[in-house]
A and B are shown apart, each in its own frame.
Chain A
Amino acid sequence: MDIIIPGDLWEGDAEGVLTAWLFDAGAKVSEGAIVAEVMTDKVQYELVAPNDGILRIRAELDAVVKRGDVIGSVDAG
C-alpha cells in the first residue's frame, strides 16, 4: 500500500519537506510504525506504515512534498 501524506495533515496549501526516513529502503516494517517525518512551518509530522511489509522509498530526503503526495509504499509479501 502507498504511504500517502494525509490530505488533512496540516492546514492550508503549504508545501512540506521530508526531513527524515526512519527506515532504509528495503527494510521490513510493521503496520503503524513511524517511517518518516515531514515538516512544514516548523511543525514535524509523522507518517506511519499502512501495513506490514517491505518499505519502498519514492520521495528522497529533503524532497518538497504536498498533502496527498505518495512518498513511498509498503509492499506486503
Chain B
Amino acid sequence: MPEEASTRKLTIARAMAEAIAQEMRVDERVFVMGEDIAALGGVFGNTRGLLDEFGDKRIRDTPISETAFMGAATGAAMDGMRPVVELMFVDFMGVCFDAIYNCMAKNVYFSGGSFKVPVVLMTSTGGGYSDAGQHSQCLYGSFAHLPGMKVVSPSNARDAKGLMTAAIRDDNPVVFMYHKGLQGMGWLGTEPAAIVPVPEETFTTPIGKAAVVREGSDVTIVGLAMGVHHGLRAAEQLAERGVSAEVLDLRSLVPLDREAIIASVAKTGRLIVVDEDYQSYGVTGEIIATVVEHDVRLLESSPQRVAYPDVPIPFSRPLEQFCLPNADKIVAAYDAMGH
C-alpha cells in the first residue's frame, strides 16, 4: 500500500474484529468463543472474517450454554490461554452470572495474584429500536459495581480498537461492552460520529483513562458510549446559546478516571451525567459521589443526572423513547440547574 494513502475509517464492529485478528496473528493463545461468532461473524459484526483466517479451532461457535462456556473461558485463561468470549446480549448475563462475578472476577484475588485470568468478555448493550426489556439493557452499573472486573465501553472505532487490544493484553478479566447503536450495523441505525479514522497498525488505548472529546468551560457533561454522542449533540445546542460545554468520554468504568472527572468539574463548576443504564444505584451516582467526596465546593449548583428511569425497558416506541436519554434532556438538565 502506498505510504501516502489516507487513514481509512472503521466502524466499531470492524475495529473490534481487526484488533482481535491482529492479536491472534501474534499470540496463538488468543481464541474466540461465543454464539454465532464463527460463520456468521457475530450478530453485531464484531468477528467478521475471523473464521476464514483462523479456522474453527480458534474461532468456536458454541451451543446456547453460557454457564458452560463462560466458566470455560475462566478455566482456559487460568491455564494459560487468552480467551475472547462473547455474551451476545448483556441481558443474557443472568444465565451465567455466577461464572462471571463469582468465578472470573474473583480468582485473581482468591489466589492472591498467583493466577492470571486474562479473559475478555465482549457483550452488546443498548436499545432504542424496540427490542424490549430482555434485549435492550446496558447494565454498566451492575458489572462496574462488582469488584474484580475491568469494564470498558468505547464511543468510537478508534477507541474500540485500542481498548480491545489493551483488553486482550491485560492479565485481568476485562468486560468490553459495545453499544449496538454504535456498531455501524445499518439495521440498528448508525451514529456517523462513531465511524472515525483508525490506524492500521496495532496500538493500545489505556484502560482507566477518560478523554475530553470536546473542551468547554461552563458545564461538564460526562458520558459513556452512546451517552457521549448525546452529550456532543447537547453541547452543539448549548453552543448556539453561548454556553460552552465540556464533554468527557469515560471510556472505562473500572478503573474509573476520577482525576479527569474532578479536573473537569473543577474547571466548569457544573456537572451533568448521562447514562443509558438504570438511574438508581449506578454510574450516575458514582460520578457525582466522586466529585462530592473530593470537594463539594467545586459544584456551583446541584449535579444533574440524565439516566434511564427505574423501570424495565418497554417495547412500544413512544414508551421507550420517553425513557431514553437524549440531547434535549441534557439541555433541559442544564436549564434545571438555574443560573
Q: A contacts B directly in the complex (CB < 8 Å)?
A: yes
Asked whether A44 lies within 8 Å of B5 as measured between CB atoms, the reply is no
Using a CB-CB cutoff of 8 Å, which residues 18-58 of chain A contact chain B? 19-24, 27-30, 33-35, 37, 39, 42, 44, 52
Asked whether A21 lies within 8 Å of B9 as measured between CB atoms, the reply is yes
Asked whether A22 lies within 8 Å of B190 as measured between CB atoms, the reply is no
Q: How far in angstroms is the closest Cβ of chain A from B15?
A: 11
A30 and B5 in contact, given A39-B187, A42-B187 (Cβ under 8 angstroms): yes
Q: Give the contacting residue for B184; candidates A19, A24, A27, A28; CB below 8 A.
A: A19
Is B45 among interface residues, defined by CB-CB distance under 8 A?
Answer: yes
Asked whether A20 lies within 8 Å of B195 as measured between CB atoms, the reply is yes
Asked whether A44 lies within 8 Å of B45 as measured between CB atoms, the reply is yes
Is B1 among interface residues, defined by CB-CB distance under 8 A?
Answer: yes
Q: How far in angstroms is the closest Cβ of chain B from A29?
A: 6
Nearest A residue to B4 by beta-carbon distance? A28
Nearest A residue to B41 by beta-carbon distance? A44
- Count class of interface residues, chain B: 10 to 19
Q: Give the contacting residue for A20; candidates B1, B4, B184; CB below 8 A.
A: B184
Q: Give the contacting residue for A44; candidates B2, B186, B192; CB below 8 A.
A: B186
Q: How far in angstroms is the closest Cβ of chain B from A25?
A: 11
Asked whether A30 lies within 8 Å of B186 as measured between CB atoms, the reply is no
Query: Measured between alpha carbons, how far is A22 from B11 in the docked complex, in Å?
Result: 8
Determine the chain B residues whose CB is within 8 A of the CB of A27 once the complex forms.
5-6, 8
Determine the chain B residues whose CB is within 8 A of the CB of A44 once the complex forms.
45, 185-186
Query: Measured between alpha carbons, how far is A23 from B185 in the docked complex, in Å?
Result: 17
Determine the chain B residues whose CB is within 8 A of the CB of A39 once the complex forms.
186-187
Is A70 among interface residues, defined by CB-CB distance under 8 A?
Answer: no
Is B78 among interface residues, defined by CB-CB distance under 8 A?
Answer: no
Q: Give the contacting residue for B9; candidates A19, A22, A30, A52; CB below 8 A.
A: A22
Is A61 among interface residues, defined by CB-CB distance under 8 A?
Answer: yes
Is B17 among interface residues, defined by CB-CB distance under 8 A?
Answer: no
Query: Besides the contacts A29-B5, A30-B2, A61-B190, what 13 more A-B pairs have beta carbons closer than 8 Å?
Result: A17-B186, A20-B9, A20-B11, A21-B9, A22-B10, A27-B8, A28-B6, A29-B6, A34-B8, A37-B186, A52-B2, A52-B5, A61-B192
Q: B residues engaging A (CB < 8 A)?
A: 1-2, 4-6, 8-11, 45, 184-187, 190, 192, 195
A-B contact pairs, 8 of them (CB 8 A): A20-B11, A21-B9, A22-B10, A23-B9, A24-B9, A28-B4, A29-B8, A30-B1
